[in-house]
Amino acid sequence: ATNETIQTESTAKMKGVSCGLWIWSRARRLAITVAMVAHFLVSVKDAGKDNNNDSPTNGKNIISNEQVCSSLISGTIANTWEKLSPDILKASYWPKEFSSNVNFTHWIDDLFFKYYHIHQLRRSSLYPADPAATKELLRIISNRINYLNNETSSFHPPLHILVTGGSVTLGTKCGTNPVGIPAPGGKEFWVNTPCTWASRLQNLFNEALFKNKSVVKVTNIAAGGASSEIAKVVLEYQLMTEEVKKVQPHVVIWSHAPNDAQESDMNAIFYTHLPGFVNAARNLNLCDEQLPMVIMLEDFYGYEDYSRVNMLSGYLSKLSSWYGLMNVNQANVINHELWSNYDNSTRISYILGSEFELHSGMGNHVGVAWTLFFNFFVGIYGLVHGWFIGGRHSCFFDAIEILGAI
């Protein structure tokens, strides 16, 4: 009887402890939720206030690190992206002389909201960038902004993005469009002009995010027919202009999917050429463990041997996982629309700016730029927003210093 009494009392005590732990856990969750909601409401309220950091200095409008940060911490990713949308669209109206053309601007707007909405752009994010590398990019951006605001300080170069690829990336037929915008000078292909997605990406950074300041520089060294094998040699032996060689890239974007998918030996692509490219890109700066950040971009290309396209996608996924690379698949954003409307040439032309072919038109180049910009934005937002939520209200340089101490 005594044993039974002791066992009963012990069980009752354990139940009491369990109940108390459950209540404490619920109370803690409620407190955290209330704190997050309160922070969000304060952020939204503060976002509507005038920012005095945009005052002219020496006759120039300046942009501060705090201004850039504030645009990345007011609400969710979706809310912040929506807030940036007008500036993103304005930066996408190229050629600039047609920015008042209603047909042109309506087409760009329609592409953005109908085919590149944020829920569709999320499909492109296969592997995120390494947070440590993203931190270094933020440091470079912060130093560049500080220099532009005070040019008597030490010189800091723009964030340098180096793009490698084939004729698609070079811009072959990047000017074709369904709204009658003519090619400048009568040139059909618009090769290596502001029409390419690489140039458009630079515009998105500098115009949409940095108020027309030269914070980011994108260099396009794509060449017609270039595969990963060729790109590896170009990077390894620095087969580029002296101007490009002078500035070490902080980011290298691989964009050779259209040519690699047509290589005869796919095993060589996987086991030799792709790893060789990654190593050559990383060796561009032997003294930096984090940079250059290497990004594997798979954009849409109208190559109809889909078994090879899928095989290459798998290779890129495995490689990105093994090497810790950022992997962006722009084709994922629009594939469902293109393949479900394969026989609808009007719809295809509206999305791509051209027919279903290897060299897509203006619509696809605009879309690639949006997709890459979105993935950079998500990576930066994640770090900056994380610092802010954690009570670290200083942005960019100060936040980076704090993170470095963790």
Q: What is the pLDDT of residues 285-302, one digit of tens each?
A: 988 889 999 999 999 988
Average pLDDT for residues 212-229, to the nearest whole number? 95
In percent, the amount of the chain with pLDDT more than 90 equals 55
Q: What pLDDT score was predicted for residue 29?
A: 52
pLDDT of residue 303: 78
pLDDT tens sequence across 246-256:
888 999 999 99
Q: What is the pLDDT of residues 326-368, one digit of tens each?
A: 999 999 999 999 989 989 999 999 999 999 999 999 999 999 9
d(Cα 232, Cα 137) in Å, to the nearest integer?
24
Note the pLDDT tens digit of each residue in 49-72. Answer: 433 333 334 445 566 666 666 555
Please list the residues that pair with 251 across neighbouring strands. 161, 293
- What is the per-residue DSSP string for 125-188? EEEPPPHHHHHHHHHHHHHHHHHHH-TTS---PPEEEEEEE-HHHHTTTTT--TT-PPPGGG-S
* For range 306-314, the mean pLDDT: 93
Task: Determine the pLDDT at residue 73.
Answer: 53
The per-residue pLDDT of the chain, averaged, comes to: 81
pLDDT in tens, 366-402: 999 999 999 999 988 877 765 544 444 445 444 434 3
pLDDT at 123: 96
What are residue 296's phi and psi, to 5 degrees? -95, 115
Task: Categorize the per-residue pLDDT at 304 as very low, low, confident or very high, splitting at 50, 70 and 90.
Answer: confident
Question: pLDDT, tens digit, for every residue of 162-210?
Answer: 999 999 999 988 989 999 988 655 555 566 678 899 999 999 999 998 9
What pLDDT score was predicted for residue 245?
87
Least confident stretch, 43-47, 74-78, 87-91, 143-147: 43-47
pLDDT in tens, 22-33: 555 555 555 544
Per-residue pLDDT of 260-272, as tens digits, reads 999 999 999 999 9
Pairing mode of beta strands 56-57, 125-127: unpaired
Q: The whole model's pTM is what?
A: 0.80
- From 308, 302, 312, 316, select the one nearest 351 (Cα to Cα): 302
The model's confidence at residue 88, banded by pLDDT at 50, 70 and 90, is very high
Residue 195 or residue 36, greater confidence: 195
Strand partners, 61: 56
Answer yes or no: is pLDDT of 130 > 50. yes
**Does 1 or 76 have the greater pLDDT score?**
76
Q: Can you tell me which residue has the tokens 């069980």?
A: 11
Cis bond upstream, residue 249 (ω within 30):
no
Strand pairing category for 293-298 and 251-255: parallel
Cα separation of 311 and 305, whole Å? 10
State the pLDDT at residue 92: 97
pLDDT at 277: 98
pLDDT at 246 (0 to 100): 87
Average pLDDT of span 297-312: 89
